Structure 1
Amino acid sequence: MRISVVHPRELGPSETARWRALQGADPALDNPFLSPEFTIETGRVREQARVAVLTDGADVVGFFPFERHQLGIGRPIAAGLTDAQGMIHAKDIEFSLHELMKACGLAVFEFDHLLAGQPLVPAKHTRHPSPVIDLSDGYAAYVETLKQVSGKTYKSTAYKSRKLGRDFGELRHDYGIRDQAVLRVLTDWKTDQYRRTGRADRFSRPWITKLVENLLEIDSEHFGGSLDMVYVGDRPVAGHFGLRTKTTLAGWFPAYDTAFAKYSPGLIHHLAMAERAAEAGIRLIDMGRGEKEYKEKLKTGELWVTEGRIARATPGAGVHWLVRVPVRKARGTVLANSMLRETADLALKTYGRIRTSLAS
């Protein structure tokens, strides 16, 4: 096994084609965050982006996208943004995890959305559900399932959709939008949401804004940005920007205008998005790891992702353990306990209200 490490911009057409072939050969890898286009676009805005290329004889058998930071700390590509992480590999691959880490110059690789079943998953890790919407039998079949498992949600959302139309005008849903101005409306809503809820604003980081703008421009058979918006008349109400492969849509940035909050615009939008996505050939919507009420109401099942770290015996790994591991364990304890989670969420929202009032 030979391992070479390159920047994503150094990948040529043959490597990209091989990456896509490996991804297409395993349904578990059918996620746009694992597509070559996502890593290449991230490399345009993240100099620390790298790809380890694993070759066995004359065949490329794996790609490991990652970021290398100071002290040899490794993180997934576009760390902090991705809902699916891991290696793109041949099913029968055999390699030394220690040698991979060494070749990549990593003391530690820290992850929080690594796909379960990956050859990278260490013995010690935690597993977390990633809710999904199964559209493999079409939107009508999904609606029938939703009526059975979450009938009250479906009925109330349909009622609120009709009421929204009566109160403000006919509803319109635009799917597959390529307009940067519409994207900015969505990201402005998202920034407001981050501030209201006490979270860090991802769009305050220029590289994230640029990455999302670049991804919106891509629309190929195998990969693309996916922007859609629900309107009443000409007024935008709720929307979403995510990424897609040919058959999987990854939820990423949903948001809505809070002026319409009483109508549950997020649920109205998600049902509209699911219908149009199914028409476009999407078979699965991965809503991503996270304890969100709307995900529980809309899901038909779950995939599994893992959180943990891989480490070599180096000083950098020791420093990382002292700084990160206790914090991650404390965070995991809070998220696993509904009472602690709700208390923490309330504290963040209170902080957000104070921060917003001071800024106004």
Structure 2
Amino acid sequence: MKITVVRPGDLGDSELTRWRELQKADPSLDNPFLSVEFAVAMDRLRDYVRVAVLHDGSGVAGFFPYERHSFGIGKPLGGFLTTCHGLIAAPGLEFDARALLRACKLTVFDFDHMVAGQPTFAPYEADVRPAPVMDFTAGFDAWLDQVRSNSPKNLKTVRYKERKLGREQGDLRFEYASADPEVLRVLLGWKSDQYRRTGRVDRFAQPWIVELIDLMHAEHSSDFGGVLTMLYAGDTPVAGHFGLRTATTLVGWFPAYDTEYARYSPGIVHHLQMAEAAATAGLQMVDMGKGGKEYKDWLKSGVLYVAEGRVSRPSPTAAVHWMGRTPFNKARTIVLDRPSLYRAADRVLKGFGRVRSSLRPEPAKQAVKEPTGAN
């Protein structure tokens, strides 16, 4: 096996075509974060993005996209932004992971959302987690029957709030695959507010992440695209989501809502309407990603599996990295395993967010002009 390392943007047309062929040939790779379009977009914005191209005697056998940071520390492409990573290769391809790291000039590679069971990385999996999905392969009605079976009380409550929202705030309208950049700005504003309110780091404070979202929003091919959805009450947007899709799978990424309408549970109302719209558009699945949100348990009709683990080559850098990362990873696993701890941690973060907001100085009062064009 021969390995060459290039930037995704330097891949030729034949290699781009081969990437897409390999992805479509293996159902476990049906995730937009594994698509070549995402890798190319990341390469446009970040200097540390690379892809290892694996050649066997008959041609290209696989692609391994990754990030190479200082001291040879390797991270999955997109890191904390993504919910899936892995080797895009022919089903069953097995390659020595340490030899792969050597070719990539990496001393260590940590993963936490690896496609579970890939032969190259399976020996290094420390934990495997379920990622709940909404599965529409049997049709939207079959999925809704499963949701009703999961929790009839929850579904009844959300449907009641849905009717109440429309009755009190204006007729509901759902927009699927909006191309309006101003609608995207509304959603990102809600999400930034949520990050700050809950004590988390505002991802959109980093301009390159906003630029990445804009690039993804502009993608509209048959195999890959950004999907912006918005729920309106009358003419007022109340809840939305931006995610990525392949031809058949939509991945949850950035859901948010206007807290002024929180009493109506607009986020869950939106998710139900998004599911129906996605199924109508021909998608077969919405991947909600692993994580401790309780609403995922009753919206799910199936699961995928992702793995956490670590590959390293003997070096002082790898040893130091292990000492810094292992306690954090173990603590996170313990919290995710126990819903009571997850809720407690969430309350602590929200409390921190409230304190941080109260300490933020008030902006100077000034006249505010309404925006007249795209940001």
Does TM, scored on the shorter chain, surpass 0.5?
yes
Q: CA-to-partner distance for each residue in 1:190-244, whole Å, 9 max, x for gaps? A: 0111111111111111111110111000000000000010001111000000000
CA–CA distance in 1 between the matches of 2:340 and 2:147? Answer: 27
Instruction: State the 1:35 CA deviation.
Output: 0.6
Q: Which residue of 1 aligns with 2:153?
A: 152
Contact 2:124 2:310 in 1 (8 A): no
Q: Which residue of 2 aligns with 1:252?
A: 253
Q: CA-to-partner distance for each residue in 1:128-152, whole Å, 9 max, x for gaps? A: 1111001112212211221122211
In structure 2, what residue type is equivalent to 1:322?
Answer: M
Q: Which residue of 2 aligns with 1:353?
A: 354
Instruction: State the 1:341 CA deviation.
Output: 2.0
Contact 2:249 2:285 in 1 (8 A): yes
5+ residue gaps, structure 1, are: none
Instruction: State the 1:297 CA deviation.
Output: 2.1
SS in 2 for 1:122: helix
Q: Which residue of 2 aligns with 1:43?
A: 43
Q: Which residue of 2 aligns with 1:327?
A: 328
Contact 2:98 2:311 in 1 (8 A): no
CA–CA distance in 2 between the matches of 1:65 and 1:178? Answer: 29
User: How do residues 116-135 of structure 1 correspond to structure 2 at under 5 angstroms?
Assistant: 116-119=116-119, 120-135=121-136
Q: Which residue of 2 aligns with 1:164?
A: 165
In structure 2, what residue type is equivalent to 1:225?
Answer: G
Q: Which residue of 1 aligns with 2:229?
A: 228
Q: Which residue of 1 aligns with 2:143?
A: 142
- Between 1:194-203 and 1:216-225, the stretch displaced more is 194-203
CA–CA distance in 1 between the matches of 2:274 and 2:125? Answer: 37
CA–CA distance in 2 between the matches of 1:94 and 1:152? Answer: 47
Contact 1:243 1:251 in 2 (8 A): yes
CA–CA distance in 1 between the matches of 2:92 and 2:336? Answer: 35
CA–CA distance in 2 between the matches of 1:94 and 1:194? Answer: 40
In structure 2, what residue type is equivalent to 1:349?
Answer: K
User: How do residues 1-360 of structure 1 correspond to structure 2 at under 5 angstroms?
Assistant: 1-119=1-119, 120-359=121-360, 360=362
SS in 1 for 2:131: strand
In structure 2, what residue type is equivalent to 1:112?
Answer: D
CA–CA distance in 2 between the matches of 1:92 and 1:331? Answer: 31
Contact 1:227 1:242 in 2 (8 A): yes
CA–CA distance in 2 between the matches of 1:129 and 1:354? Answer: 34
In structure 2, what residue type is equivalent to 1:47?
Answer: D
- Between 1:32-41 and 1:111-120, the stretch displaced more is 111-120
Identity level (%): 54
Contact 2:177 2:229 in 1 (8 A): yes
TM-score normalized with structure 2 length: 0.94
SS in 2 for 1:106: coil
In structure 2, what residue type is equivalent to 1:309?
Answer: R
Relative to 1, partners in 2 of residues 1:123 and 1:214: Cα closer, same or farther, differing over 3 Å? Answer: closer
SS in 2 for 1:63: strand
CA–CA distance in 1 between the matches of 2:264 and 2:94? Answer: 52
Contact 1:122 1:309 in 2 (8 A): no
After the TM superposition, which segments of 4 or more aligned residues of structure 1 sit over 6 Å from their partners?
none
In structure 1, what residue type is equivalent to 2:21?
Answer: A
5+ residue gaps, structure 2, are: 363-375
In structure 1, what residue type is equivalent to 2:101?
Answer: M
Contact 1:114 1:121 in 2 (8 A): no
CA–CA distance in 2 between the matches of 1:229 and 1:273? Answer: 9
In structure 2, what residue type is equivalent to 1:61?
Answer: A
CA–CA distance in 1 between the matches of 2:287 and 2:129? Answer: 14
CA–CA distance in 2 between the matches of 1:291 and 1:214? Answer: 29
Q: CA-to-partner distance for each residue in 1:320-350, whole Å, 9 max, x for gaps? A: 1121112211222222223322221111110
CA–CA distance in 1 between the matches of 2:299 and 2:158? Answer: 11
Instruction: State the 1:124 CA deviation.
Output: 4.5
In structure 1, what residue type is equivalent to 2:357?
Answer: T
CA–CA distance in 2 between the matches of 1:343 and 1:238? Answer: 26
SS in 1 for 2:228: strand
Contact 1:122 1:310 in 2 (8 A): no
TM-score normalized with structure 1 length: 0.98
CA–CA distance in 2 between the matches of 1:321 and 1:4? Answer: 27
SS in 2 for 1:86: coil
CA–CA distance in 2 between the matches of 1:237 and 1:306? Answer: 35
Contact 1:239 1:255 in 2 (8 A): yes
Q: CA-to-partner distance for each residue in 1:75-100, whole Å, 9 max, x for gaps? A: 00011011011010011423221211
Aligned residues: 360
Instruction: State the 1:296 CA deviation.
Output: 1.4
- Between 1:306-315 and 1:47-56, the stretch displaced more is 306-315
CA–CA distance in 1 between the matches of 2:31 and 2:284? Answer: 12
